[in-house]
Amino acid sequence: MKNDTCKYYRPSYTNTSCMAGVNYRTAYGDGRGLMDRLPCMTQNDSRCETPCAKREFPTAEELAEHVRKLDERKRFTDQAIVLCAQDAQANGFKVGVQGSVGVVECPKCHGRLKYTVARSNGHIWGQCQTTKGCLNWMQ
């Protein structure tokens, strides 16, 4: 969420409509240059021929709440990575070891957090198995 982008916007390359229900292609045409025709971002104001009655920018309070949630998610993800790295080290999971999969307690919901250690580079991937949308990452 950004202050110069409609709060209902969802990327058009992965979504056909915004969260307010406006179908991008129906309202603004199909094909090349669709992103430039969308009125969702103020940077397109000079190129957009059709305004959107549902365009609404986030308030300062909504932006602050969004940043707070991002910060909280990062804090919990950082904690989870440390827990997984400690567990992986204790179990001998490292670069070159095949089948390096472990489970730790999720620091956010206290459920089951499953992780894997990549055989090729030792990066840790993790996802909470208990609560949908809780924590997940790839290093």
Q: Block means of pLDDT (10 residues each) for the chain, length 139 residues?
A: 92 91 91 86 81 94 96 97 95 84 97 94 94 93
H-state helical runs in 18-103: 24-28, 34-37, 60-90
pLDDT at 130: 94
pLDDT at 87: 96
- In whole angstroms, give the CA distance from residue 21 to residue 9: 10
Count helices and strands (H / E) in the chain.
Answer: 3, 4
Give the residue from 126, 122, 77 showing the smallest Cα distance to 103.
126
pLDDT at 48: 78
pLDDT at 49: 79
Contact 104, 84 (CB under 8 A): yes
pLDDT at 71: 97
pLDDT at 35: 85
- Report the first-to-last Cα separation within the chain, whole angstroms: 23
pLDDT at 54: 95
Give the residue from 134, 139, 3 showing the smallest Cα distance to 69.
134
